[in-house]
Amino acid sequence: MKLILDFQPCKECHELMNELSSTKFVFADDLTKADESAKFLRHLTYNHAEIVKAVLGEVKEKKRSPEFDLYR
């Protein structure tokens, strides 16, 4: 699922996004990538209520839309 969010990133968001897009991060091992990504997602979840509301709204909308099983 892709979700495009329209929100105002705070100073810490900008710092975390810069870290995640740095060359050091791109070539890091999988454990480091997972830890840093989780850190950013935790920040978004705990500090930006508008993001949580948008994600919940999207999930509820996806539940209502019919899904077709292409492998039957």
Q: Give dist(CA 27, CA 7) in Å, integer.
A: 28
Distance, in Å, from the CA atom of 72 to the CA atom of 69, rounded to the nearest integer, reads 6
Phi, psi of 7 (to 5 degrees): -150, 165
pLDDT, one tens digit per residue, over 13-66 is 999 999 999 999 989 999 999 999 999 999 998 998 888 888 888 777 766 655
Q: According to the model, what pLDDT value does residue 2 have?
A: 65
Q: In the structure encoding, which two tokens stand for residue 27, read together?
A: 């070539």
